[in-house]
């Protein structure tokens, strides 16, 4: 795959991820979200700050990737920033979603997720009291795809 194509896909994935982080707790998406449950668990101010602080680490490298779009390749410091950002993000979603799903390690988190994502679309069976919802699972897959494309960018 040509470097320009990889960079274009990386920018597209980053745009999707930033849009997800900015909008998923605010915009009704049918069975993909349960905004009533979100509002019942989190204050508007708390949700606002959570949105800002969760999106900012991904918005900044996206801005730099767009700024270097016309350059003959992304500088190594930007590639490393992306590796750290998305590598840590993958670790975070593993600990927040997949470890509690696969092992009974965090019953409080499972109980919160059961309320927050009640009625949302899932395609995995419940384990330990909850199942990852389709919207978050799709987001998690975009993180993995980003890391795979970053690996191709370096080769």
Residue written as tokens 């950002």? 85
pLDDT-based confidence at residue 107 (cuts at 50, 70, 90)? confident
85 within 8 A of 104, measured Cβ to Cβ: no
Q: Work out the average pLDDT over 35-48.
A: 93
Chain mean pLDDT for the chain: 92
Q: Are 10 and 146 in contact (CB under 8 A)?
A: yes
Mean of pLDDT values over 106-135: 87
Q: What is the pLDDT of residues 12-31, one digit of tens each?
A: 999 999 999 999 999 999 99
Cα gap 99→5, rounded to integer Å: 34
- What is the average pLDDT across 41-54? 94
Compute φ and ψ for 127, nearest 5 degrees. Answer: -140, 135
Share of the chain above pLDDT 90, in %: 70
Distance CA 72, CA 154 (A): 14
Distances (CA, A) of 106 to 20, 84, 94: 25, 26, 13
Q: Which residue has the tokens 């997800």?
A: 20
Sign of CA dihedral 98, 102, 104, 110: positive
Q: Dig out the tokens for 5 from the structure.
A: 């194509």
Mean pLDDT of 25-44: 93
pLDDT, position 109: 79
- The whole-number pLDDT of residue 1 equals 65
CA distance 145 to 133: 18
pLDDT tier for residue 154 given thresholds of 50, 70 and 90: confident
Q: What is the pLDDT of residues 70-105, one digit of tens each?
A: 888 889 999 999 999 999 999 999 998 898 888 877
Gap between the Cα atoms of 94 and 88, Å rounded:
10
Q: Specify the 3-state DSSP secondary structure of 127.
A: strand
What pLDDT is attached to residue 77?
95
What pLDDT was estimated at residue 155? 62
């Amino acid at each position: 795959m040509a470097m320009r194509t990889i960079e274009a896909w990386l920018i597209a994935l980053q745009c999707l991820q930033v849009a997800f982080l900015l909008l998923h707790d605010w915009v009704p998406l049918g069975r993909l979200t349960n905004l009533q449950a979100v509002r019942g668990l989190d204050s508007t101010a708390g949700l606002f700050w959570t949105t800002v602080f969760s999106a900012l680490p991904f918005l900044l490298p996206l801005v730099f990737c767009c700024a270097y779009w016309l350059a003959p390749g992304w500088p190594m410091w930007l590639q490393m920033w992306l590796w750290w950002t998305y590598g840590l993000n993958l670790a975070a979603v593993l600990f927040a979603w997949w470890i509690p799903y696969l092992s009974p390690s965090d019953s409080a988190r499972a109980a919160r997720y059961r309320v927050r994502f009640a009625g949302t679309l899932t395609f995995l069976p419940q384990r330990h009291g909850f199942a990852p919802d389709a919207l978050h699972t799709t987001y998690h897959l975009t993180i993995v795809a980003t890391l795979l494309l970053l690996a191709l960018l370096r080769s």
